[in-house]
Amino acid sequence: MTRTGISAGACRILQAALCICALAIPQPASAQWGNSIFGPPIPSAPIPSVPPPPAVSLAPPSGGVTSPAVSAPAAVLAPPPGMSPAQAAPVIPPGHVPLVLTARFGPDPQAITAGVIWRIYNDKPEQGGQFKLVKEEKSPSPTLMLPAGGYVVHASFGLATAVKTVQLRSEPVREVFEIKAGGLRVEGKVGDTKIPPTQISFDIYKGSQFEPTDRRPIAQNVQTGDVVPLPEGTYYIVSNYGDANATVRSDIRVQPGKLTDVSVNHRAAIVTLKLVSTEGGEALANTAWSVMTPSGDMIKESIGAFPRYILAEGDYRAIARNEGKVYERGFKVITGVDGEVEVMAR
């Protein structure tokens, strides 16, 4: 009888020791990685995301050891080649499946390492016919922990997109998205002189300028040096130098995986108008100005002593109104020749 009681107690001590050892096993940490391509990511309106359920921690609390009831231990995703588990293995919550996403472009596929926005939806619409957004991620190559089931994954890179349906069951799933996109970067020049970025902006339209359809720009007020990711195809650029009539339209083609640099050449100049009593005299204040073509088309109006206009090459008429009197002078704009035009108040 005594020997039987001692054996049962020893068995209980052994079970408690095994439980403590199991609770003391440390969990590996996760990591993020990635580089930059084509400049900073394009901003997007924030969309609420649904975070995954928290992972179950098996580490013992400070100040003592307890034995919580745990239905199943957390699984760990195998790291990519060349990475140790301590560097890259995220913890997988029970009932979830890892989904690893990557985007690339170009004839010789290159990974897109910045600017990708991932949106994951349930693959079954709700009662109103809308697909519920489950998660949004802006990491270039995220690893998402999602409950098993069907999803629609949408990847956007600038204005280029790709969509796939994905079924998550038990094993990790890796999906590579091919996005047929390239980059467009624009600048303006007058002759060999680069136009300052503060004086010029660009609007981008889909298709050719010669197509007889009315369209809205797909990108507006693009600044010099900005890189706009676009799906491969034909586009036309409207280059606005100043705010008068110095406008140029150019057709371009965007190729996948390539950065297309476009230089738009303007035939224009900067002209300053003055109303003076004598040649080379002081400009008269409170003067109302109108700049017109020889045929009478209005180009620009303003009030001031020194109005400054950026005008396309050509012939013009300057009309000045001051103290109830009207004065006029014709002038010519020559590409790249900036200067003053004096209108005599007599």
pLDDT digits (tens, 9 = 90+) for 217-253: 999 999 999 999 999 999 999 999 999 999 999 999 9
pLDDT given at position 113: 87
Q: Name the domain boundary from 179, 201, 225.
A: 179
**Residue 308 forms part of a structural domain:** yes
Confidence band for 6, pLDDT divided at 50, 70 and 90: very low
pLDDT given at position 82: 55
Q: What is the mean pLDDT of the chain?
A: 79
CA distances from 207 to 168, 186, 210, 219, 255 (A): 39, 17, 9, 13, 14
pTM reported for the whole predicted model: 0.65
Residue 46 reports pLDDT greater than 60: no
Q: What are phi and psi of 56, to 5 degrees?
A: -80, 125
Q: Name the domain boundary from 179, 209, 237.
A: 179
- In the chain, the largest separation of any two C-alpha atoms, in whole Å, equals 132
Query: What does the buried/exposed string (b/e) look like for 239-277 if buried means 16 or more CB atoms within 10 Å of the residue's CB?
Result: bbbbebbbebebebebebbeebebebebbbbbbebbbbe
**Residue 31 forms part of a structural domain:** no
Q: What are phi and psi of 66, to 5 degrees?
A: -125, 170
Total domains present in the chain: 3
Q: What are phi and psi of 2, to 5 degrees?
A: -65, -40
Residue 89 reports pLDDT greater than 70: no
Q: Name the domain boundary from 265, 286, 302.
A: 265
Full domain range(s) for residue 201:
182-265
**Residue 161 forms part of a structural domain:** yes
CA 161 to CA 144: how far, in whole Å?
19
pLDDT given at position 36: 33
CA 50 to CA 178: how far, in whole Å?
26
DSSP string of 305-343? SS-EEEEESEEEEEEEEETTEEEEEEEEE-TT--EEEEE
